[in-house]
Amino acid sequence: MCFGRNEVQNMLHSIAFVERCQRHYCFMDAFASCPSFKKGYRVAVGAKGLFLRSNWLTMQQRNYALDVFRGATVALMILVNNPGTWSAMYAPLDHAAWHGCTPTDLVFPFFLFAVGNAMAFVMPKFVQMGSGFFAQKVVKRTILIFVIGLLLNWSPFVKWDNDVLVSKPWEMVRIMGVLQRIAICYGVAAVLVFWLSHRMAMIAAAVVLLAYWGMCYGLGNGAEPYTLKGYFGVSIDSWLLGINHLYKGEGVPFDPEGIASTPAAMVEVMFGYFAGAYIKQKGSTYEMLVHLFLAGVLCLFVGYCWDMVFPINKKIWTSSYTVYTSGLALVVLSVLIYALELQQWKGIWSRFFDVFGKNPLFIFVLSGLLPRLLALIRLPNGLDDVGKPTYMSPLGWWYHTVCKPLSADLRLGSLVYALTMIGFYWLIVYVMDKRKIYVKV
């Protein structure tokens, strides 16, 4: 579809027109000589001729290091969420028992940090299009991600019970979860950074962390407010969500992704946004890199100091944990920017993580859904002590038949299984990337 010279000149500054031009090629070389065009738009060469792109569109293009950072986080998530057996794992691949932080405890905060990074590159478009457009996009995305997470918890909607497939009752479905927390954190953080100035958003983030600290100390058990029994959020989440809808993995009804600890996690998204906005503003320069790295070191120092009075803890997402993990994310991101953007040390290793980063939501859902679906397939596995038939899933067969026999140390077989899962899911996103298939909400 082509437009005449007069039409172009009259509509050049219309965003709606720019969006139309992004979808269609135009063949007028005269575009490049238009002074007003040079201010806000650029000519790009396509297979069929010249076409228009707005400068704000090029600003939205994500930094390659951010894609690799997000992809590496997704890969680590698959690694720690898919062991061959939960009873045999190397310590770094398991969560801290309570206080403390292992590499596994970095997965979720790094993912939230990456959500904030991405937000920094789309927020200019939201601001330009207005509050109505912003509300429509953010509310829709927040609801969709939350619903997807809820359905994932409920999936596959049926289960085996005495050799009979029965429906999985809603009354026992966990309401909160990883995607649900991501949705809430994204939605609230987006509203804050959209309506507040940069300085006021930073103040709001600090207020949230300090207020959460005060609530944990003031509303918790006076003798042990930061323990599982003393944490104030247990009673709040039980009241808001209902005991049947809480996580039971700690031996008692307690949800590590509950409502009470979500505000502190939301600040992780805001920190990611601040970092992404600064990267976008300064570009890949040594000045930006030094400032980003020093900010990370400062956050690490503050997090360590805060840990002395408010322990670093993922399961109740303490404020010190937010600051500490944000500092680590800033340091890691600085190293990636130096390697990939300034030194151009790109290769197979960065490409491996990059394809994960282009379909993060899809691969997260798939890695959670596929094992649940395959668990409905039962392969005979002999008899138990009382002579009753036992079964295993296809993934269980892969672990017990191929991975487990590799070593007498069950931890190695469990790790090999997790690595094969990474390879399997990587092949899927690699093919999707080759075919330019990107699933977005």
pLDDT tens-digit readout, 363-394: 999 999 999 999 999 998 888 888 888 899 99
Mean pLDDT of 142-148: 97
Strand partners, 100: 313
Question: Span 310-335, mean pLDDT?
Answer: 97
CB-CB neighbours of 109 under 10 Å? 25
Residue 398 pLDDT greater than 80, yes or no: yes
Calculate the CA dihedral of residues 232, 238, 243, 248 and round it to 10 degrees: -40
What number is the average pLDDT over the span 205-219? 96
Distance CA 373, CA 4 (A): 55
| Angstrom distance (rounded) from CA 174 to CA 414 | 27
- Residue 36's nearest CA partner among 19, 12, 14, 3 is 12
Domain residue limits, the chain: 5-58, 61-94+346-441, 107-340
pLDDT value for 161 = 87
Which DSSP string do the residues of 399-413 spell out, in sequence order?
A: IIIIIGGG-SSHHHH
Indicate if the pLDDT at residue 30 is higher than 60: no
Distance, CA of 134 to CA of 190 (rounded, Å): 9
User: Are 250 and 244 in contact, with CB atoms under 8 Å apart?
Assistant: no
Using one digit for the tens of pLDDT, what is the confidence trace for 263-307?
999 999 999 999 999 999 988 889 999 999 999 999 999 999 999
The predicted structure's pLDDT at residue 62 = 56
pLDDT at 187: 97
For residue 111, what are the contacts with CB-CB under 8 A and spacing of at least 6? 70, 73, 74, 77, 182, 360
Residue 109: pLDDT band (50, 70, 90) is very high
Asked if 365 and 438 touch (Cβ cutoff 8 Å), the reply is no
Which backbone phi and psi does 405 adopt, to 5 degrees? Answer: -70, -5
Q: Tell me: the pLDDT tens digits for 152-195?
A: 999 999 988 888 899 999 998 999 999 999 999 999 999 999 99
- Distance, in Å, from the CA atom of 76 to the CA atom of 85, rounded to the nearest integer, reads 17
pLDDT, the chain, mean: 86
Distance, in Å, from the CA atom of 184 to the CA atom of 128, rounded to the nearest integer, reads 24
The residue-averaged pLDDT of 340-362 equals 92
Q: What is the pLDDT of residue 382?
A: 85
* pLDDT score of 23: 37
Instruction: Identify which has the larger pLDDT, 209 or 44.
Output: 209
Rounded Cα distance, 253 and 267, in Å: 25
DSSP code of residue 221: -
In the predicted structure, residue 28 carries a pLDDT above the cut 50: no
d(CA 166, CA 162): 10
Q: CA distances (Å), 284 to each of 45, 113, 289, in order?
A: 25, 19, 7
Is residue 56 predicted with pLDDT exceeding 70?
Answer: no
DSSP SS3 for 205: helix
Percent pLDDT > 90 in the chain is 76
Q: Are the beta carbons of 334 and 292 closer than 8 angstroms? A: yes
